[in-house]
Chain A
Amino acid sequence: MVDPVADPAADWRPSQVQRERDEWRRRRTLRSAVVAAVSTVLLLGAVGGAVVSSPGWQRVRETYFDWDKAVSSFPAVLDGLWLNIRVMAICWVLILVLSLTVAVVRTLRGPVAFPLRLLGTAYVDVFRGLPLLLVIFLLGFGGPALRLQGLPTSPLFWGGAALVLSYSAYVAEVFRAGIESVHPSQRLAGRSLGLSYGQTLRHVVLPQAWRRVIPALMNDLVSLQKDSGLIAVLGVYDAIRRAQIETSLDFNYTPYVVAGVLFCCLTIPMARLTDRYARRKGYHGAGGHL
């Protein structure tokens, strides 16, 4: 559209009015930044000062923020965290597979699929209703005691199974919401081209649904990272259990703080990654700007 010979963009120089506007905008941005910086420093300073000058601060610092204790417990807690990371990674893959299956089953139509739908609905209802800790107790302590043929008896296996079963019920609902948010006309367009039900689902509906629910999925992943610590109750040597052991040596709670900081180091980058991904996808909806 633009004819580079008639009016090269490089030839254009802002008018006096525009330069004044730009200058005003620059000044306003600078002023906002200064105000924000100063008020942040003041607020943090006030809060920090209030905490440090309070009478119990000395004891709090010794109990929770003992540097030597932190250094000495760090290797053990980090070692435990590695277990959390592995549990989380394996469980997440299984959760995605199971939950997508359940979601697809729940969106099947027609009377033939009724038993499947019923099964999927019952599963989601039950496992969303049960507290995660209860499922971990049930499977983690009950599972190994069954000595089922062919299944391991390690608490790690059964704890992971509890996480997968519980989380899949939530994530299935996220997927289902995504699938149902794809407009029916998309399904229709796919079928009109001769694609089968399954092909339409696989190549038309799911790719769109997937993109829409990624922010919600990332949210659940962040949540799983923390909840992988719950299997500590089964006596598995994860970060929390290791911190507990370190703490029990001298009743200094710094190892828990170390574990907390490490978990945050995992989840905070994940949360930022989620934000960035959602922004990059840039879903404006129909409204456009403003």
Chain B
Amino acid sequence: MRLTPRRSSPPLRSPEQRRGDPENSELLRLEGVRKSFGDNVVLRDVDLTVEPGQCVVLIGASGSGKSTLLRCVNLIEVVDDGVITFEGRDITDPRVDGDEVRSRMGLVFQAYNLFPHLDVIGNVTLALRLVHHVGADEARSRGLAMLERVGLADKSTARPDDLSGGQQQRVAIARALVANPRLMLLDEVTSALDPELVGEVLDLLGELKDEGVTMVLNTHEMGFAREVADQVCFLHDGEIHEQGTPEQVLGDPQRERTRGFLSRIRA
């Protein structure tokens, strides 16, 4: 179900360029990351490595720490311990400017979180103009190109409230992607969508993966994980309980809890 024709878009770099970054083979590394809210330990001793161009899918029951992991990477949450290295730099160091780090990542939310007071193009170009200091004309043309990329070129002047859920989520993805982030974090991006709208968003993510966009996402869409992921991590109780290729984790899970979770999902 490909709703949008494939087309190359100027702001995105080619997969070869992305994968071939010579300076570091890994884009993101988590070592011993721990996060608790009060007495509730949400992440304990999480290790994860993401290479450029990879798509890492986090699975697990609600409350297993998937969203918290993404929020820690985006520095929305401050880790209690451990080191997160992004582009070779320790971003958990308190001296690091979090805004600057976030400007090089894209985060997409379950509930879209579009700005209702701005039209679609305004949403997409806001950070370009305010954070990346792109001129109004260039921001507009880049924004329109990105909207065309997600198949919404004709909606640029619409208000978010006038769009369907799938369209809103595609705008949110365009908004996160337009500044050419090195890493996309996607937090349950299809969970709020009607089943018939899930496909258009997942198709878009698959295309982005083909274009070499590095993604870390959590989802309950096992079909998507099987098809697109390079690496699947099953989280349980704040730990990465099982980790590997989709064939390994989804096709031949080794741990009891993973099998239990997958059978519940499929039931």
Q: A residues bordering B, Cβ < 8 Å?
A: 1-3, 6-7, 9, 12, 14-15, 17-18, 21, 24-25, 28, 286-290
Contact = CB atoms under 8 A, between A and B. Distances in A.
Contacts of B113: 286-287
B81 A25 contact: no
A282 to B, nearest CB: 15
B175 to A, nearest CB: 14
Nearest to A14: B81
A24 B94 contact: yes
Nearest to B93: A21
Contacts, number: 45
A28 to B, nearest CB: 8
A3 to B, nearest CB: 6
A6 B45 CA distance: 13
A17 B83 contact: yes
Contact of A15 (B32, B36, B39, B64): B32
11 contacts: A1-B40, A1-B237, A2-B238, A3-B237, A7-B41, A12-B44, A14-B80, A21-B93, A24-B94, A286-B111, A287-B113
B237 A15 contact: no
B81 A17 contact: yes
Nearest to A12: B34
Nearest to A10: B39
Interface string B80-99: 11110000000011110000
A15 B80 CA distance: 10
A21 B63 contact: no
A14 B92 CA distance: 14
B36 A18 contact: no
Given A3-B237, A15-B81, A9 B94 contact: no
B158 interface: no
Contacts of B82: 15, 17-18
Contacts of A287: 113
A25 B78 CA distance: 12
5 tightest A-B CB contacts, nearest first: A18-B81, A1-B63, A21-B94, A15-B81, A2-B41
Interface in B93-151: 93-95, 111, 113
Given A9-B39, A286-B111, 15 more contacts: A1-B64, A1-B238, A2-B39, A2-B237, A2-B238, A6-B237, A9-B36, A9-B41, A17-B83, A18-B82, A21-B92, A21-B93, A21-B94, A24-B94, A25-B94
Nearest to A18: B81
A6 B39 CA distance: 14
A9 B94 CA distance: 23
A3, A15, A25, A28 pick with most chain B CB within 10 angstroms? A15
B68 to A, nearest CB: 11
A9 B38 CA distance: 10
B265 interface: no
B198 to A, nearest CB: 22
A27 B126 CA distance: 36
B206 to A, nearest CB: 28
A36 B81 CA distance: 30
A15 B34 CA distance: 10
Residue from A6, A21, A24, A288 with most neighbouring chain B CB atoms (10 Å): A21
A268 B64 CA distance: 46
B76 interface: yes
Contacts of A12: 34, 41, 44, 81
